Structure 1
Amino acid sequence: MVKLIAIWSKPFDVDGFEEDYLSNHLPIATSMEGLVSAVGAKVLLGEGYRIAELTFESMESLGAIMGSASGQKLSEDSDRLQKKFGVKLTTLIADYS
């Protein structure tokens, strides 16, 4: 299994970000065909404000899904959130085999 881990910095408008993230961004992420699972959380201690873990079967699967129309939509929405709320998105790829 491979995970894409998204780490979001604290937005300047927390309430607006939460509403937008939960009602728009999260449904885009969780609707990607081929995604094994998606988990998100708010950070209580440490760097970042919110994290998400998207699990894929393999690196090949991650590449195919993120290169698909739904993956492109997720990427575009990530860019939109960064611009709209002044957040920084850091992504990590981890192998859980």
Structure 2
Amino acid sequence: MVKLIALYKKPEDKEAFDEHYFNTHAPITEKIPGLRKMKVTKVVGSPMGESDYHLLCEMYYDDHESFKKAMKTDEAKASGKDLMGFAGELVTLMIGEEVDES
């Protein structure tokens, strides 16, 4: 599987960020065609103390082709536009492949 990973730094106003993220952004993102699963993790700390990060979101696609096709859709464009509007300076986006360790 291929994942689009969004890592968010701590926002100044966590309540306002969470309100927008969970009630506006996530529902837009969940509509992207080809998205198999979306997992959101709230960062609560680090073994080294306080973390600079607030959320991690993993969005799963079958393969690179499915991911590329999904990113061209109106739903993905709407998600990206919303993302840049409320968290453009906070987010780092990465593409990853799950590794089968067997």
| TM-score in same-fold range (> 0.5) | yes
- Alignment-derived partner of residue 49 in structure 2: none
Question: Which runs of 5 or more structure 1 residues have no equivalent in the other structure?
Answer: none
Q: RMSD of aligned C-alpha atoms?
A: 1.3
Mapped to 1, the partners of 2:39 and 2:72 lie a distance apart of 21
Cα offset, 1:45, TM superposition: 2.3
Classify the secondary structure of the residue corresponding to 2:53: coil
Distance 1:26 1:32 in 2: 10
Q: How many residues are matched?
A: 94
Counting helix residues as a fraction of each chain, which structure ranks higher?
1
Q: What whole-Å deviation, never above 9, does each CA across 1:44-89 have from its counterpart, x for those lacking one?
A: 2244110100000111111111111111011101101126xxx511
Measured after TM superposition, the shift of residue 95 of structure 1 is 0.8
- Where 1:49 maps in the other structure, the secondary structure is strand
Matched ranges for 1:2-41 at <5 A? 2-41=2-41
1:44 alignment partner, SS class? coil
The runs of at least 4 aligned residues of structure 1 exceeding 3 Å deviation read none
CA–CA separation in structure 2 for the residues paired with 1:20 and 1:82:
10
TM-score of the two chains, using structure 1 as the length reference: 0.89
- Identical counterparts, % of pairs: 28
**Contact preservation (8 Å) 2:38, 2:58:** yes
In our comparison, the structure showing a higher alpha carbon Rg is 2
